[in-house]
Every structure is written in C-alpha cells, then in structure tokens.
Homo-oligomer: A and B are copies of this chain.
Amino acid sequence: MPHRVVIVGGGFGGLYAARSLARAAVEVVLVDRRNFHLFQPLLYQVATGALNAGDISGTIRKALKRQGNARVWLGEVVDVDPVARRVLLRDGTLEYDSLIVAAGLRTNYFGHDDWAPLAPGLKTVEDAGEIRRRVLLAFERAEREEEAAGRVPWLTFVIVGAGPTGVELAGTLAELARHTLRGEFRAFDPRQSRVILVEAQPQVLPSFPPRLSVATLRSLRRLGVEVRTGCSVVTLDALGVEIDCGRRRERIAARTVVWAAGVRGESLAQVLARGTGCRLDGWERVLVGPDLTVPGYPDIFVIGDLAHVEHRGAPLAAIAQPAIQEGRYAARLIQARLEGRTLKPFRYFDKGSMATIGRADAVVQFRGRGFSGFFAWLAWLVIHLIYLIEFENRLLVMIQWANHYIMRRRGARLITAGDAWAGARDPQHEAGRHSVHENTVPSAAKRTPVSPP
C-alpha cells in the first residue's frame, strides 16, 4: 500500500503540493469542500461586476485530471486524529501517512461576529456575489428614492480596511460609479456617490513601504475615494458606521459597508491546536517549525495562508507566492523522507507583492524596493495572467479585461437571489418580513410613486 498524502484545501498551497507529488511513489488525496480552485487575487473584480466567478476559477478535478496518483475528494474536514493518523470528514474518514493542511483564512471581525451580516468580507465566491448584489441594489434603490436626502446613504459605500483588498475594492467601486454607471440613472448622477476607505493604521497599504503608501493615497484620491486613515470602526449597524479617529468621532450614513479589515485562520487551525497542542498566532494561524510541520508531529504540515512562517522577522503575507513555495517544499520533503533523505529548512524566495488601484494603476514592492503607476499595473497584469491555473481561462479573462479597460464596461452585473440583505440590513422595513423568494428583489424603504422627471 503506497504512502498516502492527504491534502486539505485546493488553493494555491494545496494544489501546488499535489502537483509537486506527481512523480512521487505516493497516493495523493486532495480534500476540499468546494469543487473548484479560486483565483482569489481577482475576486474583487467579481465583487464589482467585471468578471464572472467562472472566469477566475477552475475545477480542482480538472487541474489534477492527468495526475494518475491523485484523487480529488469533495468533503469537509471537521477533525484530525494525529495519533491514529486520520482526518474525520463530515461524512467519512480518511487515513493518512502524511497530512498537508492548507485550509486558508476567513474574514476576521475581531470579536464582532454580529457585524458579518451587516458588512460582508471578500473571501469566497458567495462573498463576492453578495457584495455585487448590495452595491448594485443600492444604486437601484437610490433611483427609487423621492428625495435627494434619502439617496445619500444608498450612494455612500464604506470599505473598512486599506490593505490590498480594501484598496482594490475602493478603487474599482469609485470607477464603477464614475464611469461604468454614468448616464444609466434618471434620478441622480452616479458620480454623486461617495466611496470612503477607513483604515486604523496611519497609512493605506500598511504592509508596503511608506513611499508606495503615499503613491497609493494619491491615486485613490485622484479616483475620488475619500480616505480616513487612523480611524477605526466603533459601531456598525444597518444604517452606517461610526468611526473613531482619535481626537474626533464621525458617523457615516451608509447602506453598504464592506469588511476588508482582517483575516483569521479557518477553524481547522483550532482543531489542530486541540489535537496536537500546537500554538496559534494572533490571527489563529499555526506556528510551524522550520520544515513547515507541526512541532512534535513531523507527518503534519501546515502551509499557505494558514501557516505562520517567519521571514526577515515578520510572518509571510497571505498571498499566493508563499503558499506555492510552501506547497512545493512540503511535497519535496515528503519525497526526500521516503528516500531516506531530509531537506534544509524552508526558505522563502521573495517575488514581491502588489496591489492595483482602479484602472491602469498599481503598486509593486520587491525586496524592499518598489514602483507604482502604469508599468506597475502592467507587471501586475502579466503576473496574474501567468499564474491563472486554468489555462483555458487566461485568454478569456484577458479579453474581458481589455474590454473593461478600453470600454470601462462591466459585463457581469446580475443581481441574483439572496435573502440576507433585506432582512439584515433593513430590519424595520416591510419587505424584510417577507421571505424573499427566487424571483423577487428586496423592495425600497417606502411606497414611492414615480415622480415624473
């Protein structure tokens, strides 16, 4: 019976680990609760209607189709027994000889989990669909408001957190309002809408060098994004947020709030901590040893966003490159051990990090240096296209982008079913009490006869 490697999670880390084992004398079982790999760096494009979810994902099964020693297992891991070497699924068990946990991160509300329905994060395809729905519905509701004052909260969009996701979302939302939707409404000009980016740290993109933060701030302002640095959210409800900026507090009336302020480990990290006694960091990521294994359990690897791996005195960022390199390392170490060898500790090869700001503008940092502007954006574009795992999607995504870039069009602006909003955002209002079924949309706040233009 061959050595069985169970991999939990089909993101960059898990998928690269599986592929790197293609020629090893092992049996690979990749377990994921979703049937697809998601290219998360472009998820904000789905949230703003430029791309379809299908454009940035591919099935895990297809990615491993030609790898004869790999099986794909649709299932959710709920527990790990490190002594019996077994993972427990919601509906089955899987025995392993080596286990690679690459379960990733989820949105972190820092103890305010009640804010989740009020301000979705952006980690899953469903999150992206929900943000798109709220944003587009907000404009629709504004169109039906009789008074200009009533439109203001619908046309105010607050993004909490100015890391790459928050910056990318804010920039794209500002462009959506200023360009894509221009001329589509009769009651108002979408350029009246406000996009407010709130960040607790003193600058945007706090993990980037200060020079790039300054460049980003300038770009965001040029797009019309209002930036509030040094401000943290203290209350959040269906009608808006209150932010604390040190000396002053501000109430922002906004019907649409997006949470991009933080992430934490998927629950599997706590499962591992219970089972193996391993330690977690403040984000609930697993503190792994220099060979990416859990201390005391050399057969359990944790890789990707869920692993806390130090690099030059700070943990590696939750981006694709560390996950890919860690996945490859784990695969190589497993192979080496089967051959009676071992490997030097994992070392990260820095390929930099980047973020876009709206159309044709980006910042790139690379080993302490950085650049910004159009060429940074080109670099971003090329690198992201190269790493799109589903090869067939590359051309299509590029064309959609070109189309979007040249024409400022967004072809995926469907509002599809969902009942979270009407109830959660607007509990006092009539429609919130209906169960919103398949074909209805939540209704505006009051009866509004058409006021002829």
Chain B residues positioned under 8 Å from A393 (CB to CB): 411
**Interface size on A (CB < 8 Å)?**
80
Q: In the assembly, what is the distance between CA of A156 and CA of B165, in Å?
A: 43
Q: In the assembly, what is the distance between CA of A369 and CA of B412, in Å?
A: 39
Q: In the assembly, what is the distance between CA of A74 and CA of B414, in Å?
A: 13
Q: In the assembly, what is the distance between CA of A92 and CA of B451, in Å?
A: 12
Given A92-B449, A144-B74, A52–B412 Cβ distance below 8 Å?
yes
Judge if A91 is at the interface, Cβ distance under 8 Å. yes
* Set B62, B409, B447: member contacting A91, Cβ < 8 A: B447
- Which residues in chain A, 2-30, are within 8 Å of chain B measured between CB atoms? 2, 4, 27, 29
Q: In the assembly, what is the distance between CA of A203 and CA of B121, in Å?
A: 52
Judge if A73 is at the interface, Cβ distance under 8 Å. yes
User: 12 more A-B contacts (CB under 8 A) besides A92-B144, A396-B400, A399-B399?
Assistant: A33-B439, A33-B441, A34-B414, A54-B412, A66-B183, A73-B144, A74-B441, A91-B431, A126-B438, A392-B411, A393-B411, A396-B396
Chain B residues positioned under 8 Å from A441 (CB to CB): 33-35, 74-76
Given A36-B414, A54-B411, A415-B35, A91–B396 Cβ distance below 8 Å?
no
Q: Are the C-beta atoms of B36 and A415 separated by less than 8 Å?
A: yes
Q: In the assembly, what is the distance between CA of A4 and CA of B183, in Å?
A: 21
Q: Are the C-beta atoms of A440 and B33 separated by less than 8 Å?
A: yes
Chain B residues positioned under 8 Å from A143 (CB to CB): 71-74
6 pairs across A/B with beta carbons < 8 Å? A4-B452, A71-B143, A73-B450, A124-B439, A392-B407, A392-B411
Q: Are the C-beta atoms of A58 and B411 separated by less than 8 Å?
A: yes
Given A29-B450, A403-B392, A35–B413 Cβ distance below 8 Å?
yes
Judge if A430 is at the interface, Cβ distance under 8 Å. yes
Judge if A444 is at the interface, Cβ distance under 8 Å. yes
Q: Name the residue on B nearest A49 (C-beta).
A: B54
* Set B61, B126, B449: member contacting A93, Cβ < 8 A: B449
CB distance from A278 to the nearest CB of B (A): 23
Q: Are the C-beta atoms of A416 and B125 separated by less than 8 Å?
A: yes
Q: In the assembly, what is the distance between CA of A73 and CA of B393, in Å?
A: 35
Chain B residues positioned under 8 Å from A52 (CB to CB): 52-55, 412
Q: Are the C-beta atoms of A444 and B54 separated by less than 8 Å?
A: no
Chain B residues positioned under 8 Å from A4 (CB to CB): 450, 452
Q: In the assembly, what is the distance between CA of A440 and CA of B4, in Å?
A: 24
CB distance from A305 to the nearest CB of B (A): 15
Chain B residues positioned under 8 Å from A54 (CB to CB): 52, 411-414
Q: In the assembly, what is the distance between CA of A450 and CA of B75, in Å?
A: 12
Q: In the assembly, what is the distance between CA of A32 and CA of B238, in Å?
A: 26
Q: Name the residue on B nearest A58 (C-beta).
A: B411
Q: Are the C-beta atoms of A414 and B450 separated by less than 8 Å?
A: no
CB distance from A358 to the nearest CB of B (A): 20
Q: In the assembly, what is the distance between CA of A444 and CA of B126, in Å?
A: 23
Chain B residues positioned under 8 Å from A55 (CB to CB): 52, 411
